[in-house]
C-alpha cells in the first residue's frame, strides 16, 4: 500500500533508510496500550525494511511487556522516565541521568520519533546521541524535510504512523493489528479461575471500564445490551476488567437479570486477551481492549464518548462497529449492531458444521 505520494518522495530525495547504514534504531513512543497496538503495523514495516537491525523501544515502563510480546519486531526496551509536558506518567527526575547514560551507551544509528507531532518529542530524541534523527513534525515547524515528514492531522492512527515508515523507506506490510497469545497467557488465565464456566465460542465479553472513568458508558446500558443478547442468542456473559474495575463489573452484574461471569481481577493484559480470544463478541468503551479485539479479529461494538472516532476506530469497520454515544442514549443501536455481528458468526458457524 503506497501511503506517500511520488511528489513527496521526490521532494525529500532518497528515503532515510536508503541514505545510511542503519544497524540500530531507537523508536520513541511513550504511550498507553491502545496507542502502542496502533503502532504495530509501522513496527512491522520497520522490521521488514531492517531485518538485521537491533530495534529498541523507548516507552513507558509498562511497555516492557509490549516489547516482549512483539519480539518479532522489537529486540530491546528502555523505560522512559517521563517529561513534564507529557501526562502519561509522573516525571521521574531522579531517573534522568541513568536513562541518558543507558541511551547514549547504545550509540544508535537512528532515533525515530513515533510519539506524535513532535513539538516536545523531537527535542527529546535529539538528546539521544544518535547519528541521525527522524520522525513526524508539525507542518511549518522548520524541521529538516529530508528526515521529518509533516504530521498527519487526520486519519486513523495506524495509517498516520505508516505514512512515517513509508517516508523512511519501509514498505507497508499490511495495515492489520496483531495480538499474539502466549502459552503463559493461557496458563495464567487457567490458574486465575476467572474464566471458570466460560465455554469457548459460547460467550460474549462486556468490558465496561476504561483508563479514564469519564469515557465509560453507563453500567446499566451495558447490562441492558448484555441481557438482550443473552436472551436472543443463549450466550453466556463474561464481564472483563482489571482489578481496579471490579466495582464497574459488579455494577453491570447488579443490573442484569441473567447471571454473568465476573472476570475482573488482577490478571495481565495477555491473560485477559486469552479470555477474549474465545469469545464471540466484545462490547466495550473506546479503550485499549478495542485494539486487542482488532488484533484478535474478535467482532466488537465500541462505544465512543470523547475521543476522535475517526482516529481511534479500528480500521475494519465491518468487523468492528463504532458508535458515538456520549449521552448514553444509543443502547438499542449498540444492541442492534451486536446482534448483526452475532447473527453473522452463527451463520458462518452453521455453514462450517454443514
Nearest 10 degrees: CA dihedral of 325, 329, 335, 340? -60
Among 332, 284, 276, residue whose Cα is nearest residue 304? 284
- Bridge partners of 320, per DSSP, are 300
- Check: pTM over 0.85? Answer yes or no: yes
- Report how far residue 338's alpha carbon sits from residue 323's, in angstroms, rounded to the nearest whole number: 11
| Whether residue 195 sits in one domain with residue 83 | no
CATH number, residue 235: 3.40.50.2000
Of 138, 168, 198, the position where a domain reaches its end is 168
The residue range of the domain holding 190 is 183-353
Task: Write out the chain's pLDDT in tens, 354 residues.
Answer: 334 344 444 444 479 998 889 999 999 999 999 999 999 999 999 999 999 999 999 999 999 999 999 999 999 999 999 999 998 888 999 999 999 999 999 999 999 999 999 999 999 999 999 999 999 999 889 899 999 999 999 999 999 999 999 999 999 999 999 999 999 999 999 999 999 999 999 999 999 998 888 889 999 999 999 999 999 999 999 999 999 999 999 999 999 999 999 999 999 999 999 999 999 999 999 999 999 999 999 999 999 999 999 999 999 999 999 999 999 999 999 999 999 999 987 654 433 333
| Whether residue 188 sits in one domain with residue 151 | no
Strand spans (E) along 88-131:
110-113
DSSP 317-344: TTTEEEEE-TTS--HHHHHHHHHHHHHH
**Per the structure, how many domains does the chain have?**
2
Asked if residues 339 and 346 have their Cβ atoms less than 8 Å apart, the reply is: no
| Whether residue 205 sits in one domain with residue 95 | no
In a domain, 61, yes or no: yes
Amino acid at each position: 500500500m503506497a501511503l506517500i505520494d511520488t511528489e513527496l518522495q521526490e521532494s525529500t530525495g532518497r528515503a532515510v533508510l536508503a541514505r545510511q547504514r542503519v544497524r540500530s534504531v531507537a523508536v520513541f513512543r511513550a504511550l498507553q496500550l491502545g496507542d502502542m497496538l496502533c503502532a504495530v503495523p509501522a513496527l512491522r514495516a520497520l522490521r521488514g525494511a531492517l531485518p538485521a537491525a537491533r530495534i529498541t523501544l523507548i516507552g513507558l515502563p509498562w511497555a516492557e511487556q509490549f516489547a516482549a510480546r512483539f519480539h518479532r519486531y522489537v529486540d530491546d526496551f528502555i523505560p522512559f522516565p517521563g517529561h513534564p509536558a507529557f501526562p502519561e506518567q509522573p516525571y521521574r527526575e531522579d531517573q534522568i541521568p541513568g536513562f541518558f547514560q543507558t541511551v547514549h551507551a547504545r550509540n544508535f544509528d537512528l532515533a525515530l520519533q513515533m510519539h506524535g507531532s513532535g513539538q516536545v518529542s523531537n527535542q527529546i530524541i535529539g538528546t539521544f546521541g544518535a547519528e541521525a534523527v527522524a520522525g513526524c513534525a508539525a507542518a511549518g515547524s522548520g524541521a529538516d524535510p529530508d528526515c521529518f515528514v509533516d504530521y498527519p492531522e487526520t486519519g486513523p492512527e495506524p495509517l498516520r504512523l505508516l505514512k512515517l515508515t513509508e517516508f523512511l523507506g519501509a514498505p507497508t506490510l499490511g495495515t492489520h493489528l496483531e495480538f499474539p497469545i502466549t502459552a503463559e497467557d493461557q496458563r495464567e488465565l487457567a490458574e486465575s479461575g476467572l474464566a471458570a464456566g466460560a465455554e469457548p465460542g459460547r460467550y460474549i465479553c462486556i468490558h465496561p471500564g476504561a483508563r479514564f472513568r469519564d469515557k465509560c458508558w453507563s453500567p446499566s446500558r451495558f447490562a441492558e445490551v448484555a441481557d438482550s443478547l443473552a436472551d436472543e442468542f443463549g450466550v453466556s456473559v463474561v464481564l472483563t476488567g482489571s482489578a481496579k474495575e471490579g466495582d464497574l463489573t459488579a455494577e453491570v452484574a447488579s443490573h442484569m437479570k441473567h447471571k454473568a461471569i465476573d472476570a475482573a481481577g488482577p490478571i495481565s493484559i495477555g491473560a485477559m486477551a486469552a479470555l477474549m480470544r474465545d469469545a464471540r463478541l466484545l462490547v466495550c468503551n473506546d479503550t485499549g481492549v478495542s485494539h486487542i479485539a482488532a488484533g484478535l479479529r474478535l467482532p466488537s461494538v465500541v462505544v465512543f464518548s470523547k475521543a476522535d472516532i475517526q482516529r481511534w476506530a479500528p480500521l475494519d469497520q465491518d468487523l468492528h462497529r463504532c458508535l458515538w454515544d456520549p449521552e448514553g442514549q444509543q443502547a438499542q443501536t449498540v444492541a442492534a449492531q451486536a446482534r448483526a455481528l452475532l447473527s453473522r458468526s452463527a451463520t458462518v458457524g452453521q455453514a462450517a458444521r454443514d
